[in-house]
Structure 1
């Protein structure tokens, strides 16, 4: 038995297998009835692993960390699974508007390792998911569990009630100054790159700057020059705003269709119906790949980033998307959003001068 334990210790330290393969081998090699006996013989090794796990879980987020596989192997799967289950119990009884905000994560080696280790743990929960709403909840809960494990700071500010206090002028000015400083630094590196400087830091900055713009320089520079008008002037009267939008959306309107509709109908009569749409996991993966990571989420609070990195959800989402398409029905979660009124002109108080922007859950947009 000592030789076996030594060999297990050697395999763990030599990074021969990744964390998923180790979990599979453990289940195959240690039957349920023999786990207690094996635990007694491997007590010193388990104690050593537990210490490593606690150290890894409590380590703050550091960009420069050890090799991915080494860090992932230090994360005990059972501890991660326990954290996920605790989050699930807590979040299932929490209203959507009271969910904590998921922070943006640094793309460090350790963070990526934690996310990869979470993927196989989620399989059991996703396979038992009954509908899109439950799958969406599992994804949020897994994301929140990852944030707990890596020690990311969470915000409990209300996301949908609109009760947050107005941003003071001095803070707006500071943000503008910070934006100017970042823009100057970016432009400086772009000029260096154009002059032939191909240092890794310069190239990485240029790639990040053009991410999502398809190398459209005009779009990039236009985004740097866009004016900031929201939150800097007087807001329209709430009663006037409600009355304006109620007249558009709640009052019934009778439309008189002209004879042109019959002409269009006759012209479309000979069009062959399109082939049935078949949604595959590759379709989901491709759409998610092209989506921006941290675009504002909907009521569920789930960013595109988590739909990208929690890849085990793609097959389940494809199947449930197909079911929703065949049934021609979506859960109310995916048709209910948070609407923000963005002023078209600075200082506008007329409700008609505001553009409504509604944030629907990203699972719906996909």
Structure 2
């Protein structure tokens, strides 16, 4: 409170006071490491919950005005290396994002470093790695990833090859998810979670369920059931109709028909909304991935004759005979004609891969597109910018050597059932 009253001139000048309050607090308590946001939250709690009485606050205000602490210059305020090296691909919004970056740099520095060291020891040279979750995109997580990027620069400089660089990127992603408290899923990668039901659909389905309960109770009442438990729902069904209890029996059929029409209208509303959402989704996906749209259309017309799972051994044998057996091609005379025509074509200039090439290639891909066997999403390649220079030099070396690591040339094959029996290959 002394720092607050000193920075705000007794609580009268609240314009951009948090930085001044932090500087004064660091002069008063140099051993306490805290952020400006934390200090302002503490002041708000003290004022709202009346942790100090008016006499104590008046005494602190007069002392702060009489012995006002002069704030230290900005360059003398203790800062961590993360705050000075925090560079993000997109410029954060003024005010809010800067405070979040400072909060990460002052409070999470040691936690980030410790999480990164644990991930490096655990997964840098491990052959099997768990599936990475998606990191929610918000200002705090962006600042966290940018701060972690500055810590990874030293590791990238000591990287020996592409596999080692990939392992360091993976360890950085693990550390970011752990610090952000993102839960790792143990589910199989092929099993996709069911999409969440929209809130509007839940509300309408709840109304339909309640209306069906009332219809059932009104039907029991029409058949002569007048028990108190049934009458409680009957009275609820006639609420707002200005119908007296002795008229319930004469108007019960009308009320049942009314509720049935409501259920039908609500069900039509859900169907109409679902068609609208499906139409918008298809339009967006058609602009992004036309193959996905056509594949879904074809899949809706497929006839599945049995639901059995294909045999693993038969599947492996079938595709091994296609991909693993070498094929000898017979070249005809036309290949000689093509070679003669290509003699006059100048050779392509030597390719030099730079860090800007890696950055532009990473920025043009979707963040959370399904990864390959390496398990690393494009998001981490895009936001860990300190790896781009090292990746450029290693890609250049691989280009000159004419070979790539095996994990970059290995793919994942998904079997898509078209028609017929799943258990046989024809």
On whether the aligned pair clears a TM of 0.5, the verdict is: yes
Tell me, yes or no, if structure 1 residue 23 matches structure 2 residue 44: no
Q: 2:100 aligns with which of 68, 71, 90?
A: 68
Aligned match of 2:36 in 13, 17, 28?
13
Relative contact order, higher structure (CA 8 A, sep 6+)? 1
Change (3 A) 1:72 1:17: farther
Residue 172 of structure 2: aligned partner: 142
TM-score if structure 1 supplies the norm length? 0.62
Deviation of 1:349 (Å): 4.2
1:8-30 Cα distance to aligned partner (Å, 9 max, x none): 88996399989xx9334999xxx
Normalised TM-score (structure 2):
0.54
For 2:275 and 2:74, how far apart are their aligned partners in 1?
44
User: 2:127 corresponds to which residue?
Assistant: 95
Q: Show the 5 A alignment for 1:186-201.
A: none
User: CA separation in 1, counterparts of 2:136 and 2:407?
Assistant: 29
CA change 1:184–1:104 in 2 (3 A) is farther
Asked if 2 retains the 8 angstrom alpha-carbon contact of 1:295 and 1:304, the reply is yes
What residue is the counterpart of 1:337 in the other structure? 411
SS of match in other structure, 1:213: helix
Secondary structure class of the residue paired with 1:147? helix
Q: 1:124 aligns with which of 125, 135, 154?
A: 154
Distance 1:292 1:225, change over 3 A: farther
How far, CA to CA, are the matches of 2:285 and 2:367 in structure 1?
11
Relative distance call for 1:100 and 1:237 in structure 2 (3 A) is: closer
CA distance in 2, matches of 1:176, 1:111: 24
1:159-238 equivalence runs, <5 A: 175=194, 210=284, 213=287, 227=299, 233-238=307-312
Q: Distance in 1 between matches of 2:371 and 2:349?
A: 32
How well do the aligned residues superpose, as a CA RMSD in angstroms? 4.5
Structure 1: give runs of 5+ residues left out of the alignment: 28-63, 192-204, 353-366
Shift of 1:94: 3.0
In structure 2, the residue matched to 1:86 is 118
Residue of structure 1 in register with 2:352 after alignment: 278
CA apart distance, 1:321: 0.8
CA 1:282–1:183: 2 relative to 1, 3 Å: farther
**Contact in 1 for aligned 2:372/2:411 (Cα 8 Å):** yes
**Is the contact made by 2:82 and 2:105 (CA closer than 8 Å) also made in structure 1?**
no
Kindly state the Cα deviation for residue 336 of structure 1 after the two structures are TM-superposed.
2.2
Q: CA deviation at 1:291?
A: 0.8
Unaligned runs of 5+ in 2: 1-22, 39-72, 85-95, 202-269
State how far apart, in whole Å, the 2-side matches of 1:10 and 1:239 are: 61
Matches of 1:212 and 1:10, distance apart in 2:
52
Q: Is the 8 A contact 2:373 2:412 kept in 1?
A: yes
Whether 1:108 and 2:129 are equivalent positions in the alignment is: no
